[in-house]
Amino acid sequence: MANSKVTMIQKGFVRYTKERYPKEADVILRRAEELYPILHAKAPDIGGAENLMAYNLDLMILAASFYEASDHRIDGAAILEISRDMARRYGVVKKLVNLNRPWQMKLFRSILYKRYTPYAKLVEEKVSQGQWGNTWRVRINPRNTDEGLCFELVGCPLADFAKANGYEDLLPYMCASDHMLAELMHAKLIRTHTCATGGESCDYWYVADRSDTAKAYADVKMV
């Protein structure tokens, strides 16, 4: 669990475990630590550290480890609570980042597109060579829109791992954390389909949360 993002989320699981199950915490934490490499060995090979998105699969395995270690008590609802707690702890982001400010949205879009463009090319190369399995393939701005930022992820190793190992119930809660991240940036994530709900891809369209587009989608159920 060397990735800093995974380590940060792991701390959230540890806090939750100690708060909710203080008498059993040591046992649950030890079991989760033992289970992680066992479950990781069952995961598809998507390139490890060379794949900049591989940490997402590590997060799924982390959640599954605590789920099993707690006899399924640290479940999807717990994942949501842990995500909300993380959002509260990093609430300073909400004070600094506001994608209703055009310059910040433009900067965020530029950074993300520049990050995903070489990644998308690398993934196509790896997949053509029979490597990285069903890792996330990226389509940048499939809506061809100048509003916000938009991309689509085709394929999902998280969904593959969950379906192969009986963790499908956790998937929607893993996906829900994306919406909380958007809220931290004063954005709305418009997403109408995911691999977790049976789609072949997950669509992402981040718009400013005070925009007319965000208001138009206010009553539309997002996944």
Residue ranges of domains in the chain: 4-216
Angle (nearest 5°) at CA 161 between 157 and 162: 115
Beta strands in 22-146, from DSSP E residues, in sequence order: 137-140
Match 């890792």 to its residue by tokens: 135
Q: How many angstroms separate the Cα of 190 from the Cα of each of 208, 217, 222?
A: 11, 8, 7
Structure tokens at 92: 């300073």
Interstrand relation of 201-208 and 187-190 (parallel, antiparallel or unpaired): antiparallel
Q: Which CATH number fits domain 4-216: 3.90.1520, 3.10.290, 1.25.40, 1.10.3470?
A: 3.90.1520
What are the pLDDT tens digits along the chain (223 aa)?
557 778 889 999 999 999 999 999 999 999 999 999 999 999 999 999 899 999 999 999 999 999 999 999 999 999 999 999 988 888 898 999 999 999 999 999 999 999 999 999 999 999 999 999 999 999 999 999 999 999 999 999 999 999 999 999 999 999 988 999 999 999 999 999 999 888 889 999 999 999 999 999 998 888 8
Tell me phi and psi for residue 5, to 5 degrees: -65, -40
Q: Are 9 and 85 in contact (CB under 8 A)?
A: no
Give just the sign of the alpha carbon dihedral 21, 26, 31, 36.
Answer: positive
Sign of the dihedral defined by the CA atoms of residues 27, 32, 35, 37, in that order: negative
Looking at the chain, how many residues does it have?
Answer: 223
